[in-house]
Chains A and B, each alone.
Chain A
Amino acid sequence: KAGVTQTPRYLIKTRGQQVTLSCSPISGHRSVSWYQQTPGQGLQFLFEYFSETQRNKGNFPGRFSGRQFSNSRSEMNVSTLELGDSALYLCASKQHMNTEAFFGQGTRLTVV
Chain B
Amino acid sequence: DAKTTQPTSMDCAEGRAANLPCNHSTISGNEYVYWYRQIHSQGPQYIIHGLKNNETNEMASLIITEDRKSSTLILPHATLRDTAVYYCIATMNRDDKIIFGKGTRLHILP
Contacts and interface: CB of A to CB of B under 8 A. Distances in A.
A56 B46 CA distance: 21
A72 B102 CA distance: 30
B25 interface: no
Given A98-B32, A100-B34, A43 B44 contact: yes
A42 B45 contact: no
A90 B43 contact: yes
A103 B43 contact: yes
Contact of B96 (A43, A97, A102, A103): A97
Nearest to B32: A98
Interface secondary structure of B, over-half rule: loop
B49 interface: yes
Contacts of B101: 42
B97 interface: yes
Interface in A19-57: 31, 33, 35, 42-45, 48, 50, 55-56
Given A42-B102, A88-B41, A100 B46 contact: yes
Interface in B66-95: 87, 93-95
Interface string A85-103: 0001010101001101111
Interface secondary structure of A, over-half rule: strand
Nearest to A6: B43
A33 B44 CA distance: 13
Interface of B: 32, 34, 36, 38, 41-46, 49, 87, 93-102
10 contacts: A43-B38, A44-B100, A45-B99, A48-B96, A48-B97, A55-B96, A56-B95, A58-B97, A92-B98, A98-B32
